[in-house]
Amino acid sequence: QVQLVESGGGLVQAGGSLRLSCAASGRTFSNYGMSWFRQAPGKAREFVAGLSGSGISTSYADSVTGRFTISRDNAKHTVSLEMNSLKPEDTAVYYCAAARFRVPETYLDVDYWGQGTQVTVSS
């Protein structure tokens, strides 16, 4: 069983930056691929960024490539999402997600979800 707790959301102006963090419980954190998803009002939950258990392989949605960076610290059992050059269309609830031995890139890939953290970007 893995529990995920996100933090770091908030309100920021367009062009600004935020850093989201996700703390994971469990003793085998490095066995899990970790991702961030987001869900805007009235829209489906979508993949944002993911990385492998080792942290070597990463993947990003086209809409955030070059602006967002995902990273992890296996010793601290944390995964982070650095978000720069934020746009109003980045406004959403951001969810941390984990999947055993794979990087979750679709809703069906995910084994565990966090509770979500709100990010609001004002224009």
The predicted-structure confidence for 4-44, as pLDDT tens digits, reads as follows: 999 999 999 999 999 999 999 987 999 999 999 999 999 99
H helices then E strands: how many in the chain?
0, 11
Specify the pLDDT at position 71: 98
Say what the pLDDT of residue 77 is.
97
Per-residue pLDDT of 75-93, as tens digits, reads 999 999 999 999 999 999 9
Closest residue by Cα to residue 121 from 32, 3, 14: 14
Q: Is 86 left (phi over 0), alpha (psi -120 to 50) or beta?
A: beta
Percent of the chain with pLDDT over 90: 98
Q: Which residues have C-beta within 8 Å of that of residue 55, sequence separation ≥ 6?
A: 71, 72, 74
